């Protein structure tokens, strides 16, 4: 039996993962900014679920949650940084305060969670950290530049963290989902107040009032949760796990296009050495 700490469990993948973890017999610290959304989970698993309020931009709350996890379960074996939200705007349209709040939640909130659990994991020489990213980090759609940037930042951080922690017995995995049947494109999606006409045919097509995807996404959150459990329980977990056919195909297409462009400009790239 392991103890999981999962952020952002009110809806979507976080909620499905919390339910799956508990159904498999593990302990789970299940968190959300509004803990009333978690009452059914607490009632269904009174001995193994600890539901707590958590805003990942609040360091005092993070410290409190980690301490309560220690008191109740003895420590945390698996951290899942799932809390976050989407933001759509052309790069020029975005409000500065919106951008900073997005990075505070999607990037620095995850960083603070990692720093809070690592001392115990290092002491035990064991643990798993899963950072929930997005295929957006790979495909960078027009209108999602800032959201994609937060996920790319999280992935870059995770790559270095993986190399730092693997010798200490701690695994780090980036989970990169495609479109799943969650509330991401609904309540969890925000956008700029400004909409410039010059971007109507690019970023404008991804604004909420133009979005037709919500409720029709191909991915099943319950199946994603089971896949994440399989990753954590694997003797050799991957550093990156893509979830969903749409994400897999998009990842492969980007990798192929990047390789083709790399080869196209090979001679110029290699011409820049001293004496070359």
Give me the active site residues, please.
133, 147, 151
- Cβ–Cβ < 8 Å for 79, 127: yes
Q: Cα 107 vs. chain centroid, distance in angstroms?
A: 9
């Amino acid at each position: 039996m392991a103890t999981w700490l999962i952020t952002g469990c009110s809806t979507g993948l976080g909620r499905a993962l919390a339910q799956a973890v508990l159904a498999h017999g593990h302990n789970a610290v299940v968190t959300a900014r509004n803990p009333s959304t978690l009452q059914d989970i607490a009632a269904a698993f009174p001995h193994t679920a600890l539901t707590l309020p958590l805003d990942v931009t609040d360091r005092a709350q993070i410290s409190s949650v980690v301490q309560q996890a220690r008191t109740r379960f003895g420590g945390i074996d698996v951290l899942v940084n799932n809390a976050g939200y989407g933001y759509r705007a052309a790069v020029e349209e975005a409000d500065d305060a919106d951008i900073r709040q997005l990075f505070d939640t999607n990037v620095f909130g995850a960083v603070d969670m990692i720093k809070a659990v690592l001392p115990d994991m290092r002491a035990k020489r064991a643990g798993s950290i899963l950072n929930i990213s997005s295929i957006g980090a790979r495909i960078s759609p027009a209108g999602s530049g800032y959201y994609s940037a937060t996920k790319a930042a999280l992935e870059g951080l995770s790559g270095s963290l993986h190399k730092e922690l693997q010798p200490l017995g701690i695994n780090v995995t980036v989970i990169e989902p495609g479109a799943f049947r969650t509330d991401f494109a609904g309540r969890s999606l925000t956008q700029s107040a400004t909409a410039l006409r010059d971007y109507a045919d690019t970023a404008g097509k991804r604004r909420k009032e133009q979005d037709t995807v919500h409720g029709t996404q191909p991915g099943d959150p319950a199946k994603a949760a089971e896949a994440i459990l399989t990753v954590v329980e694997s003797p050799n977990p991957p550093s990156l796990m893509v979830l969903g056919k749409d994400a897999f195909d998009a990842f492969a297409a980007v990798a192929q296009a990047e390789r083709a462009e790399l080869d196209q400009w090979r001679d110029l790239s290699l011409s820049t050495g001293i004496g070359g």
